[in-house]
């Protein structure tokens, strides 16, 4: 814990740290988050071993995909955040993946029925129609998604009380998948604990996971950050909850 350090020192350190890619190594020793029980990376590796062509949507820096021990013959990834595209290209050379820059909300730039497998970890938004379109009949979609109310305690520590969450509910994902012509074959949910040991960890997390406080800047919320530093110093690490769900679906045969 870094509670003996000045709040502004911790904030400045975190504000200057890089947030490229989708790794969280900078938080080592400063924050922790429980992992879902299903082991997403292992499941991806298992599915990849059975595929000839596969796509990873919103790959981030390619961290999960790079660990696949037996990649398929054709492996492609998309990423929408420009700083992550080059990170992913460097990271994914080891598995022979092609990384394609795709603008947010743009259609997937692939032909119909291109892939046996589509995976996505924490996508910004799942385009279910596009996912179904690029899957071959009988192809499979596997995704670990952020659930409703994730990090709500942290959001409210900065923004104040919020209304109940209306987005990212697993039931909505199931309905959207089925509307797009997919058959959901698996759905699992988990509620996880996150712990922040100093306000610098909070600042870095909010800079990286931008939907937690969508308009976050240090200057805009400096008073709230100071209050959070005082709270951590007085009562101990700040705790929040995150929710995840794992959804797996197949494309119906015509």
Helix-helix angle 7-16:222-235, to 10 degrees: 120
DSSP alpha helices (H): ranges in the chain? 7-16, 40-48, 82-91, 128-134, 152-159, 170-179, 199-208, 222-235
> Quick one: tokens of 33?
């988050």
Instruction: Name the DSSP class of 81.
Output: S
Is the CB of residue 85 less than 8 Å from the CB of residue 107? no
Instruction: Count CB neighbours of 163 within 10 A.
Output: 5
Instruction: Count CB neighbours of 213 within 10 A.
Output: 22
User: Residue 1 pLDDT more than 80?
Assistant: no
pLDDT of residue 135: 98
What is the mean pLDDT of the segment spanning 89-102? 96
Split at pLDDT 50, 70, 90, the class of 4 is low
User: Residue 254 pLDDT more than 80?
Assistant: no
What is the mean pLDDT of the segment spanning 176-192? 98
pLDDT of residue 215: 96
Give the pLDDT confidence of 189-240 residue by residue, as tens digits.
999 999 999 999 999 999 999 999 999 999 999 999 999 999 999 999 999 9
Give the span between the Cα atoms of 171 and 148, in whole angstroms: 11
Instruction: Name the DSSP class of 51.
Output: -
Give the pLDDT confidence of 16-44 residue by residue, as tens digits.
999 987 789 999 999 999 999 999 999 99
Q: Which of 249, 243, 233 is nearest to 2 (CA)?
A: 233
Q: Let me know the angle formed at the C-alpha of 189 by 31 and 146, rounded to the nearest 5 degrees.
A: 55
Residues making up the chain, counted from first to last: 254
What is the mean pLDDT of the segment spanning 1-15? 83
């Amino acid at each position: 814990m870094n509670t003996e350090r000045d709040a502004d020192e911790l904030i400045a350190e975190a504000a200057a740290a890089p947030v490229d890619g989708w790794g969280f190594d900078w938080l080592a020793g400063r924050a922790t988050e429980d992992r879902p029980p299903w082991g997403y990376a292992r499941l991806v590796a298992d599915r990849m071993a059975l595929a000839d062509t596969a796509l990873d949507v919103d790959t981030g820096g390619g961290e999960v995909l790079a660990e696949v021990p037996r990649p398929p013959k054709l492996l492609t990834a998309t990423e929408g955040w420009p700083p992550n595209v080059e990170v992913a290209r460097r990271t994914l050379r080891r598995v022979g993946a092609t990384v394609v820059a795709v603008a947010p909300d743009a259609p997937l730039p692939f032909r119909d029925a291109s892939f046996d497998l589509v995976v996505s970890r924490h996508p910004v938004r799942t385009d279910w129609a596009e996912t179904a379109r690029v899957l071959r009949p009988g192809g499979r979609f596997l995704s670990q998604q952020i659930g409703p109310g994730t990090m709500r305690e942290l959001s409210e520590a900065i923004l104040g009380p919020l209304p109940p969450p209306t987005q990212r509910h697993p039931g909505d994902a199931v309905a959207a998948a089925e509307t797009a012509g997919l058959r959901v074959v698996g759905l699992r949910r988990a509620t996880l604990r996150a712990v922040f040991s100093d306000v610098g960890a909070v600042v870095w997390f909010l800079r990286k996971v931008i939907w937690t406080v969508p308009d976050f800047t240090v200057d805009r919320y400096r008073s709230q950050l100071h209050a959070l530093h005082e709270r951590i110093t007085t009562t101990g690490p700040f705790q929040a909850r995150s929710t995840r769900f794992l959804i797996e679906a197949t494309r119906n045969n015509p």
